[in-house]
Amino acid sequence: MPDQPTYRRVLLKASGEALMGGQGFGIDVSVVDRIAADIVEARKLGVEVAVVIGGGNIFRGVAVASKGGDRVTGDHMGMLATVINSLALRTSLVKMGVDAVVLSAIAMPELCESFSQRQATAYMDAGKVVIFAGGTGNPFFTTDSAAALRAAEIGADALFKGTQVDGVYSADPKKDPNAERYDRLGHAEVIQQGLTIMDTAAIALARENHIPIIVFSIHEEHGFSAILRGNGRYTVVSDE
C-alpha cells in the first residue's frame, strides 16, 4: 500500500440515479451519506475532491425531447435537478464535519454560489469539497461533459466515473454473461468501440487535457478510497 495516494486532486462524477438506492425516484439519504463517507475517506488520505452529480433520479431533459417537448427547457429542468442533488450531498458532508460548498453554473444566490473557475480553485486549495451543480449551464451538454470540463478547469489529476458496475465492459455484464471486462483502454478506443461510459464530448475533452478516467462501481463501499490507495477494482481510460 503506497504511503501517498495515487492522485492529489480528483473529480468524482456520480449519476443522479445512484442516489435513488432501491427507490424508484428521488433521493435515498442513506446512499448520499455513504457516498459522502467515501469522500471523507478520500480527504483523510490528503486528496482534494470535487464532485459533479447528475439529475436523472429527479428529471432528465432528454425525456421531454423524446416526447416532442422543447429540449432546451427540458435540459434547464434537468440542471435544476442537479442542484437539488448537490445540496443533498453538501448536507451529508457538513453533517460529517466536512467543509463543502456548492457552485452552480446557473445563478441562484439564495441557494448557493455561482461558479467561477478562480473561486473553485481557491476553495480546492483551501481544502473544501467543491460540488459543481447546474451542469455546464448550457443545454445539449450532459453532466458527463460538465464533469470533464470542471476536471480540466480545476487541474484534476483524474476523473472518477462512478457507475453501476466495476469497470468498463464490452457489453452490459448484467445482460451479457460473456461481456469482456477491460483493465485499461485508450480514450480513442472508447470512442471507436462505442463504449457508453461517458458521452463522446466528455471523452474527447478528457483526452485533450490528458485527464485519465477511472471507471468504478459507485455502489462499492470504500471503493473510491481503495482506488486512491492503489487497490480496488476499476478500469483506467488513458492514452498515457
Q: How confident is the model at residue 1 (pLDDT cuts 50, 70, 90)?
A: very low
Q: Which SS3 state, helix, strand or coil, does residue 69 take?
A: coil
pLDDT category at 3 given cuts 50, 70, 90 is: low
pLDDT of residue 175: 86
- Cell triple for 38: 467515501
Instruction: Inform me whether the pLDDT recorded for 176 exceeds 50.
Output: yes
What class has domain 9-237? Answer: alpha beta
CB 163 within 8 Å of CB 217: yes
Grid cell 470542471 in the structure block, residue: 150
Residue-range domain boundaries for the chain: 9-237
Task: Let me know if 150 is exposed, middle or buried by CB neighbors in 10 A (0-12, 13-18, 19+).
Answer: buried
Q: What is the dihedral angle through the alpha carbons of 90, 158, 161, 165, rounded to the nearest 10 degrees?
A: -130
Q: What is the pLDDT of residues 41-93, one digit of tens each?
A: 999 999 999 999 999 999 877 777 778 878 899 999 999 999 999 999 999 99
Among the ranges given (110-119, 152-161, 175-184), the one the predictor scored with the smallest mean pLDDT: 175-184
Mean pLDDT of 156-184: 90
Instruction: Decide if pLDDT at 159 tops 50.
Output: yes
Residue-wise pLDDT tens digits, 200-234? 999 999 999 999 999 999 999 999 999 999 999 99
- Give the tens place of pLDDT for each residue, 55-69: 999 987 777 777 887
User: How much is the average pLDDT of 6-31?
Assistant: 93
Average pLDDT over residues 95-110: 97
Q: How far is it, in rounded angstroms, from Cα 92 to Cα 50? A: 15
pLDDT reported for residue 67: 80
Q: Residue 6 pLDDT more than 90? A: no
pTM: 0.93
Residue identified by cell 446512499 is 31
For residues 214 and 235, what is the distance between their CA atoms, to the nearest angstrom?
Answer: 6
pLDDT at 22: 86
Going by pLDDT thresholds of 50, 70 and 90, the confidence category of residue 33 is very high
Predicted pLDDT at 26: 94
